[in-house]
Homo-oligomer: A and B are copies of this chain.
Amino acid sequence: MTKIAPLSGFPEWLPGQRIAELAVLDRIRATFELYGFAPLETRAVEPLDQLLRKGETSKEVYVLRRLHAADDGPADDALGLHFDLTVPFARYVLENAGKLQFPFRRYQIQRAWRGERPQEGRYREFTQADIDVVDRDTLPLHYEVEMPLVVGDALGGLPIPPIRILVNNRKLCEGYYRGLGIGDPEAALRAIDKLDKIGPAGVAALLTETAGATEAQAKACLALAEISAPDGSFVDAVRALGVTDPLLDEGLAELVRVVEAAAAHAPGLVVADLRIARGLDYYTGTVYETLMQGYERFGSVCSGGRYDNLATSGTDRFPGVGISIGVTRMLGLLFGAGALSASRPVPTCVLVALPDEDSRPECDRVAAALRQRGIPTEVAPTPAKYGKQIRFAERRGIPYVWFPDAREVKDIRSGDQVTADPGAWTPPADDLRPQLLSGS
Contacts and interface: CB of A to CB of B under 8 A. Distances in A.
Given A65-B65, A67-B58, A15 B43 contact: no
A100 interface: yes
Contact of A347 (B33, B48, B69, B395): B33
How many chain copies?
Answer: 2
Interface stretch (A73-81, A174-182, A297-305, A417-425): A73-81
Contacts of A261: 361, 364
Interface in A1-56: 1-2, 4-7, 10-15, 18-19, 22, 33-45, 47-50
A101 B135 contact: no
Interface in A324-369: 345-348, 360-361, 364, 368
B377 A36 contact: yes
Given A71-B73, A125-B43, A345 B65 contact: no
Interface stretch (A88-96, A231-239, A404-412): A88-96
Interface in A354-391: 360-361, 364, 368, 371, 374-378, 381-382
A124 to B, nearest CB: 9
Contacts of A377: 34-36
A4 B106 contact: no
A99 interface: yes
Contact of A39 (B5, B22, B33, B67): B22
Contacts of A68: 58-59
Contacts of A58: 67-68
A123 to B, nearest CB: 10
Contacts of A99: 14
Interface string A226-270: 000000000000000000000000000000000001001100000
B14 A96 contact: yes
Contacts of A317: none
B35 A378 contact: yes
A103 interface: yes
- Size category of the A interface is 35 or more
A43 B7 contact: yes
A102 B239 CA distance: 66
Contacts of A5: 95
Contact of A371 (B34, B50, B92, B135): B34
A19 B38 contact: yes
B12 A41 contact: yes
B35 A18 contact: no
A210 interface: no
A158 interface: no
Contacts of A361: 261, 264
A140 to B, nearest CB: 7
Contacts of A39: 15, 18-19, 22, 347
Nearest to A42: B12
A63 B62 contact: no
A342 to B, nearest CB: 10
A61 interface: yes
A200 interface: no
A2 B381 contact: no
Given A4-B313, A261-B361, 7 more contacts: A10-B43, A33-B347, A34-B374, A44-B113, A101-B395, A140-B382, A142-B360
